[in-house]
């Protein structure tokens, strides 16, 4: 039996938009079949189905949001995910009322970790836009 093993360096896609991730994988391992746009749409649809079915909200998220509200803080969400996906996830978990600002990098030339999505969120009307804080996977320093 003849076997063949091909080593491919996986692209670093952490923080990228889904369409950018699909494009990087296509450039790494081109495929025949569905277009990059169709693959992107399939991934988004599947991700939303899984979120809706499995409800993977981390413990303490709603408590943390309530605490921020009680302190009078404005809350924003900046993400590489499409805006419709952000809105749907927040609705699934009944968290939309906590958020004053939603910002998506879906139409921006650069995705995270580029700061543009954060800057766009900060430009939206907010009482304390000069006092921004980031909570997420990474700590950003000024």
The count of structural domains within the chain is: 2
For the question of whether the overall pTM of this predicted structure is more than 0.95, the answer is: no
CATH of residue 48's domain is: 1.10.150.240
Contact 123, 129 (CB under 8 A): yes
Structural domain that includes position 103: 61-126+135-141
**Residue 90's pLDDT is what?**
94
Which domain-ending residue is among 27, 54, 81? Answer: 54
Angle at 72 between CA 93 and CA 124, to 5 degrees: 75
74 and 107 in a common domain: yes
**CATH code where residue 119 lies:** 3.40.50.1000
Question: Is residue 117 domain-shared with residue 69, that is, in the same domain?
Answer: yes
What pLDDT is attached to residue 113?
79
Rounded to whole angstroms, the Cα distance separating 79 from 57 reads 16
Write down the pLDDT at residue 62: 94
- DSSP assignment of 86-98, as one string? HHHHHHHTT-GGG
In a domain, 3, yes or no: no
d(CA 97, CA 65): 10
Which positions ≥6 away from 106 have C-beta within 8 Å? 17, 19, 80, 81, 82, 83
88 shares its domain with 67:
yes
Residues 111, 65 share a domain: yes
| Domain match, 82 and 112 both | yes
Same domain flag for 121 and 65: yes
Q: Spell out the per-residue pLDDT of the chain, length 142, in tens.
A: 666 556 667 778 777 899 999 999 999 999 999 999 999 999 999 999 998 898 778 899 999 999 999 999 889 999 989 999 999 999 999 999 999 999 999 999 888 778 888 888 888 766 554 566 666 654 444 3
Residues 122 and 65 in one domain: yes
């Amino acid at each position: 039996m003849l076997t063949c093993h091909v080593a491919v360096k996986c692209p670093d896609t952490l923080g990228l938009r889904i369409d950018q991730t699909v494009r990087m994988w296509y450039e790494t391992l081109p495929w025949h079949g569905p277009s990059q746009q169709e693959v992107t749409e399939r991934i988004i649809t599947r991700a939303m189905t899984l979120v809706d079915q499995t409800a993977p909200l981390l413990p303490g998220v709603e408590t943390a949001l309530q605490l921020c509200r009680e302190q009078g803080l404005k809350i924003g969400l900046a993400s590489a995910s499409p805006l419709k996906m952000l809105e749907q996830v927040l609705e699934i978990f009944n968290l939309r009322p906590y958020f004053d600002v939603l910002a998506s990098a879906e139409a921006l030339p650069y995705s995270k970790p580029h700061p543009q999505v954060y800057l766009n969120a900060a430009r939206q009307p907010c009482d304390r836009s000069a006092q921004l804080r980031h909570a997420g996977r990474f700590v950003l320093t000024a």
